Amino acid sequence: MQVVKYMFQPHGDERGQLVSLEEINDIPFKIKRVYFMYDTLKGVVRGRHAHKNLEQILFCVHGSCKVKLDNGSESKIVPLEKPYEGLYIPGNMWREMFDFSEDAVLMVLASEIYNESDYIRDYDVFLNHVNMKGNEIDEQNTRSI
């Protein structure tokens, strides 16, 4: 399973650091929404859902956390520890964010506005969804042979 983590170049000088994120040039989708989480309590696991179509990039702009990504057949745990690291999450990917440091601020850039109907919040429903998607792709490949 391929995980895409962008490492953005901080513009550092003697005053400190600055990271700039430009739609299209740096972020591979139109940014329709930005949200962030902070004051996350110890031991909390956030997320625990997938999106059908939404694309996102997650930045832990302060502190640290971990993200578990699961495509239905494989999973990976990705630490986010630097403010210039952006973790890309495509559609049809189960995600769980955990191990938040006390000072963690997790900022998310999203390709769509909030839409509850794009969420899959039940893991078994997610597995059925990705299996069905897999079969659709197999069928398309079979047809084109």
**Is residue 46 near ligand TYD by the rule CB under 6 A?**
yes
Q: Select 31 or 134, whichever has its Cβ closest to ligand TYD.
A: 31
Q: Select 11 or 32, whichever has its Cβ closest to ligand TYD.
A: 32
Work out how close the CB of 138 gets to ligand TYD at its nearest, in angstroms, rounded to a whole number: 31
**Is residue 86 near ligand TYD by the rule CB under 6 A?**
no
Residue 118: CB atoms within 10 Å? 15
Give the pair of three-digit tokens for residue 44: 């909390």
Residue 54's H or E segment, with its range, is none
Task: Give the angle 32-38-42 at the CA atoms, nearest 5°.
Answer: 135
Residue 9: CB atoms within 10 Å? 9
Work out how close the CB of 46 gets to ligand TYD at its nearest, in angstroms, rounded to a whole number: 3
Cα–Cα distance, 81 to 138 (Å, whole number): 38
Positions 114 through 133 that interact with ligand TYD (CB under 6 A): 114
Identified binder of ligand TYD from the candidate list 35, 73, 77, 128, rule CB under 6 A: 35
DSSP 136: H
- Rg over CA atoms, the chain: 17
| Known catalytic membership, residue 51 | no
**Is residue 49 near ligand TYD by the rule CB under 6 A?**
yes
| Residue 3, CB-side half-sphere exposure with 13 Å CA sphere | 19
Work out how close the CB of 16 gets to ligand TYD at its nearest, in angstroms, rounded to a whole number: 29
Identified binder of ligand TYD from the candidate list 6, 10, 33, 98, rule CB under 6 A: 33
- Which residues bind to ligand TYD, rule: CB under 6 A? 33, 35, 46-47, 49, 114
Residues tagged active-site: 49
